Structure 1
Amino acid sequence: MRITQGCFSFLPDLTDDQIRAQVQYCIDKGWAVNIEYTDDPHPRNTFWEMWDLPMFDVKDAAGVMLELNACRKAHADRTYIRLSGFDSSHGWESVRISFIVNRPKEEPGFRLVRQEGPGRQQIYTTQAYAVDRPEGQRY
């Protein structure tokens, strides 16, 4: 199963050159770039772990790519890593772009859980296969 979240989710994984081009686009727009990672990519899990602080003053995509590669090296092939661009031109931070830049070699996916409610009501939820194991041992 392939997790699809954020921009470009319908495309194959971006190459480093394509990621660098998107990062430079964010920088040219004046957006702060942020790197986050998780081992639980459930669609409702919007709060991923931050890798360092958002990069507000970076003027070249090479600095972001250096941090991205350090995050990849620290977490190897067991986590999802996403890059986000934040726009503060309105006086508050708004996510303008967000996309996955790294994923585990094996993605366990989700299962659909159905529960019967009162009457004939059906309640559906999704549950990640990864959460059956403790954090740090999911991949």
Structure 2
Amino acid sequence: MKTWNPINNKKFETLSYIPPLSEQSIAKEIEYMIKKGWVPCIEFDEVGYVYRENSRMPNYYDGRYWTLWKLPMFGCTDSSQVLKEIQECRQAYPNAYIRCLAFDNVKQAQCMAFLIQNPNN
């Protein structure tokens, strides 16, 4: 039986255990988000994981979130709009982790997330 090696082998979000998604596969995931009425959102980070720089105190959340690429895409009706923003983010930050999130603005919760770009692959 083979076991997972956690050393220098960090996994991110739902689909990170499979090979990188193609543009067509990313578009299908985004179409699913839009059909559910969720709001697509793109985030990026060069480190790719949560860390703290300035404090070790409880309840201090420095470095907890990834950086938002522009605003969430409220009113988005087509996956090509999101793919265009993903491409712009890739060009601006070629060495960053990039992920796509889906937010339900009624429940005010994140419903889905997957990694689009892993600079280590």
TM range (shorter): 0.7 to 0.9
Question: What does residue 125 of structure 1 align with?
Answer: none
C-alpha displacement at 1:10, in angstroms? 1.7
Could you tell me which runs of 5 or more consecutive residues in structure 1 were left unpaired when the two chains were aligned: 108-139
TM-score by length of 1: 0.69
Normalized per residue, which structure has more strand? 1
C-alpha RMSD of the superposition: 1.6
Task: Give the secondary-structure state (helix, strand or coil) at the position aligned to 1:13.
Answer: coil
Q: Comparing both chains, which one has the higher relative contact order based on Cα–Cα distances under 8 Å and sequence gaps of 6 or more?
A: 2
Q: Indicate yes or no: 2:113 matched with 1:98.
A: yes
Could you tell me which runs of 5 or more consecutive residues in structure 2 were left unpaired when the two chains were aligned: 1-7, 52-62
The percentage of aligned residue pairs carrying the same residue is 29
Higher-Rg structure is 1
Q: Indicate yes or no: 2:82 matched with 1:82.
A: no
User: What CA distance in whole angstroms lies between the structure 1 residues aligned with 2:109 and 2:12?
Assistant: 17
Q: Indicate yes or no: 2:83 matched with 1:65.
A: yes
Q: How does 1:41-60 map to 2 (within 5 A)?
A: 41-43=48-50, 46-60=64-78
TM-score by length of 2: 0.78
Q: Indicate yes or no: 2:33 matched with 1:38.
A: no
